[in-house]
Amino acid sequence: MPLYKTITPNNNTSIFIWKIEETYADLFKKTALTNYSLERLQSMKSDMHLRGFLSVRHLLKKAGYTDADLYYNGNGKPHLKDGKHISISHSYHFSAIIIGNREVGIDIEKNREKIKIIQHKFVNFERGFINKDDNYIEQLTVIWGAKESLYKIYPYGGLTFKNDIDINSFKISEKKTTGYIKVKNWNKTYNIHFEQLENFTLVYALENLKNG
């Protein structure tokens, strides 16, 4: 299908979401790719990963960019040649990108029971406010997605979700919270926003303007 949804958190930030219903062949024939991207496609085995990769290129086009405008640094972090910040995510049949003038991160995750089994790997500080009377799976998925979004913002890699990133208290109905990366010389707070798309949780992080 065409673009599933757009979100404009502020005047300088845009989010584009695609619901992947096309075949690989349909997505591929409508996409102009660099040699680097073609090589990446050839290394992928999963049909879902292939279609996710191509759907992101369609989102770039919706945002006014081409595949050639996108490049990656040594840590695998995506960048745009015009200097704007970008973050990318895809999960099953959804993909999303966020583009802004300041630091941004995005994650989309399917809500699954499995997250309760692995929560010990990423929940630490947050244990103090999780409420089992609220939607437990959605809460855990928001925490994961928020930490993933902040992980994508940090340019140097090497963070652990459990010990290096904290997400502050929230309720699912509030659809927002804050979070921060706990490393030396990185004193920034980020605004975290989240919402449900069918049975998926979309989370995105925006640099707080008060950071300077």
Same domain, 144 and 97: no
97 and 20 both lie in a single domain: yes
Burial of 186 from C-beta contacts in 10 A (0-12 / 13-18 / 19+): middle
**What's the pLDDT score for residue 75?**
82
pTM: predicted TM-score of the whole model, two decimal places: 0.94
The CATH number assigned to the domain holding 97 equals 3.90.470.20
Q: Which stretch of DSSP H or E encloses residue 150?
A: helix 136-153
Residues 7 and 95 in one domain: yes
Domain boundary among 101, 121, 136: 101
Query: Residue 174's domain spans which residues?
Result: 111-194
Q: What is the mean pLDDT of each run of 10 residues along the chain (212 residues)?
A: 90 97 93 93 94 96 97 90 97 97 97 96 95 91 98 92 96 96 91 97 91 58
Q: Is-contact 126 145, C-beta < 8 A?
A: no
Two structure tokens written together for 195: 């919402």
The pLDDT, as a whole number, for residue 1 is 56
In a domain, 209, yes or no: no
Residue 187: per-residue pLDDT: 82
Q: What is the pLDDT of residue 140?
A: 97
Q: Which residues contact 40 (CB under 8 A, 6 or more apart)?
A: 53
**Does residue 16 form part of some domain?**
yes
60 and 125 share a domain?
no
Domain count for the chain: 2
| Same domain as 136, residue 184 | yes
Task: Based on the fold, state whether residues 81 and 123 are members of the same structural domain.
Answer: no
pLDDT, position 154: 94
Same domain, 81 and 121: no
* Among 101, 126, 160, residue at a domain's last position: 101
